[in-house]
């Protein structure tokens, strides 16, 4: 009899709890979609501040603004974590043309890659050799490359459904293209922009010279996809054409910047920390609305929504707006170092850094046992069509937190439009849809709520 009573009690508790979760999540969504703050915050970040390259005035304004906004939420603690960041500046905008015959030129839209050196003061003019990838350099050999500009022109694969996969299959050209081409005596490189559209926007992004000696570093720029098509066609008609470009970028001394943090202290397990975040810096060409203004305001909104719906978390919920994801990852590194040094126990970290588009689900980097546990919550996410839960990478900023126990997760929005805007002049506020942004914030809040309520398994046992 006693056994039956306990069973009934357990059953009714479980049923109650599920209804409870359903209602709490419904409340979170309603609050986000009808009284959200994410869109207004993003409007300010994008239209009043703009592109926020590490070390820029705008990056510092973004630190001030987001800290003030967090201050206004009545959190238990809001603070700045100082971190030294690289300061690379673009200088006067780049300029490029193709010379098909002496005096016959066509301007082409280019943009220096982040971290690139400048061209000589008068610019750089040379013949071009087109390749589809780094591995072609060896086949061509020094003879065919020396003194020329290498033009990397392997496009993203449009047949792939997930555009991030298509990006991964190309980005080596941008990241390592200059380092590799320099080994064969190239004088500069031009990289086809990492986008699936044919348009006139060059898409910048980080690059590395690896161990290349300072005096052997060659300038590197992205060219728009239309520009790349034009260049490639013209080159086939006349391999002797020359390409001229001039860029004025410079690596300055490191400067002090900040991660922006805020937290609600947990009522029951304050020492267990749940992190939610995005990165506050962005490239300088657009205003960084999708990459990653969206992730920042969504992360801030998670704490605001928990508070506004009256939920008192058991664990400490912390928002971290990381500085310098784009060209150094210094904020993420500093944060993880501090966590380790202070012996903080992070049980869960969630990152939003894939654009403010309709969320489709989450990726999880965790043990099978934790993944099974999370999968059991899928029915709660189905009414919101955000129930694609997959195992996979989480995000660059929370990556350094990885250890045997922590559950890492990334919001997975629809990826189709992301690279239309990524690192380009058209990553701007008007391309973010309010509802899509808010649905992402609500999905993140719902997941954080469940993790907070039910805990995660650590070393085989649940922390709850």
* Interface residues toward its own copies, by CB under 8 A: 29-30, 33-34, 158-159, 161, 163, 196-197, 358, 360, 383-385, 388, 414, 416-417, 420, 433-436, 439
Instruction: Compute the distance between CA of residue 454 and CA of residue 375 in angstroms, rounded to an integer.
Output: 13
Helix (H) or strand (E) holding 391: strand 388-391
The one catalytic residue in 325, 326, 425, 438 is 325
Buried b (16+ CB within 10 A) or exposed e, 186-218: bbbbbbbbbbbbebebbbbbbbbbeeeeeeebb
Closest approach of its own copies to the CB of residue 95, in Å: 28
Residue 325 is among the residues annotated as catalytic for this protein: yes
Instruction: Compute the distance between CA of residue 302 and CA of residue 318 in angstroms, rounded to an integer.
Output: 10
Residues 386, 361 contacting (CB under 8 angstroms): yes
Closest approach of its own copies to the CB of residue 383, in Å: 7
Length reported for the chain: 464
* Residue 224, phi-psi category: left (phi > 0), alpha (psi -120 to 50), beta (remainder): beta
Closest approach of its own copies to the CB of residue 428, in Å: 14
Nearer of residues 75 and 194 to its own copies, judged by Cβ: 194
Closest approach of its own copies to the CB of residue 133, in Å: 19
Instruction: Compute the distance between CA of residue 389 and CA of residue 401 in angstroms, rounded to an integer.
Output: 21
Closest approach of its own copies to the CB of residue 28, in Å: 11
- What order do you get walking across the sheet with 77-89 strand by strand? 77-89, 250-264, 315-322, 269-279, 345-351, 407-413, 359-365, 388-391
Give the number of other Cβ atoms within 10 Å of residue 464's Cβ: 14
| DSSP-assigned letter for residue 133 | S
DSSP string, 274-295: EEEEEES---SSS--IIIIIHH
Instruction: Compute the distance between CA of residue 214 and CA of residue 280 in angstroms, rounded to an integer.
Output: 30
Nearer of residues 138 and 388 to its own copies, judged by Cβ: 388
Closest approach of its own copies to the CB of residue 414, in Å: 5
Catalytic residues: 325
């Amino acid at each position: 009899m006693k056994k039956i009573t306990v069973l009934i009690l357990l059953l009714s508790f479980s049923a109650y709890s599920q209804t409870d979760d359903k209602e709490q999540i419904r409340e979170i969504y309603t609050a986000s979609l009808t009284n959200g703050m994410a869109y207004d915050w993003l409007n300010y970040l994008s239209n009043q501040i703009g592109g926020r390259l590490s070390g820029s005035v705008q990056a510092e304004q973004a630190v001030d603004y987001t800290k003030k906004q967090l201050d206004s939420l009545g959190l238990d603690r809001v603070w700045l974590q100082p971190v030294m960041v690289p300061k690379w500046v673009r200088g006067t905008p780049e300029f490029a043309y193709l010379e098909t015959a002496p005096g016959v030129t066509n301007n082409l839209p280019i943009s220096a890659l982040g971290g690139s050196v400048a061209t000589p003061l008068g610019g750089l003019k040379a013949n071009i050799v087109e390749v589809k990838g780094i591995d072609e350099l060896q086949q061509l050999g020094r003879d065919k490359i020396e003194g020329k500009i290498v033009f990397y022109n392997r496009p993203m694969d449009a047949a792939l459904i997930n555009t991030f996969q298509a990006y991964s299959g190309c980005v080596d050209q941008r990241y390592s293209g200059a380092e590799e081409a320099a080994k064969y005596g190239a004088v500069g490189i031009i990289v086809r922009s990492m986008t699936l559209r044919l348009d006139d926007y060059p898409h910048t992004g980080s690059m590395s010279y690896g161990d290349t000696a300072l005096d052997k570093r060659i300038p590197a720029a992205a060219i728009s996809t239309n520009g790349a098509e034009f260049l490639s066609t013209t080159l086939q008609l006349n391999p002797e054409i020359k390409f001229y470009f001039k860029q004025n970028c410079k690596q300055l001394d490191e400067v002090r910047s900040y991660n922006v943090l805020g937290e609600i202290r947990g009522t029951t397990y304050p020492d267990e920390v749940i992190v939610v975040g995005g990165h506050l810096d962005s490239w300088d060409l657009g205003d960084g609305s999708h990459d990653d203004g969206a992730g920042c305001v969504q992360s801030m909104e998670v704490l605001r929504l928990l508070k506004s719906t009256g939920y008192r978390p058991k664990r400490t919920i912390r928002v971290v707006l990381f500085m310098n994801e784009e060209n150094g990852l210094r904020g993420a590194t500093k944060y993880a170092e501090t966590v380790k040094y202070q012996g903080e126990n992070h049980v869960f970290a969630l990152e939003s850094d894939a654009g403010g588009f309709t969320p489709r689900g989450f990726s999880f980097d965790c043990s099978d046992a934790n993944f099974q546990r999370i999968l059991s919550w899928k029915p709660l996410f189905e009414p919101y069509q955000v129930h694609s839960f997959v195992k996979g990478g989480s995000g660059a900023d929370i990556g350094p937190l990885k250890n045997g126990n922590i559950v890492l997760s990334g919001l997975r929005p629809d990826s189709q439009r992301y690279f239309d805007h990524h690192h380009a002049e058209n990553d701007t506020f008007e391309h973010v849809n309010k509802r899509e942004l808010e649905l992402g914030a609500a999905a993140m809040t719902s997941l954080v709520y469940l993790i907070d309520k039910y805990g995660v398994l650590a070393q085989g046992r649940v922390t709850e």
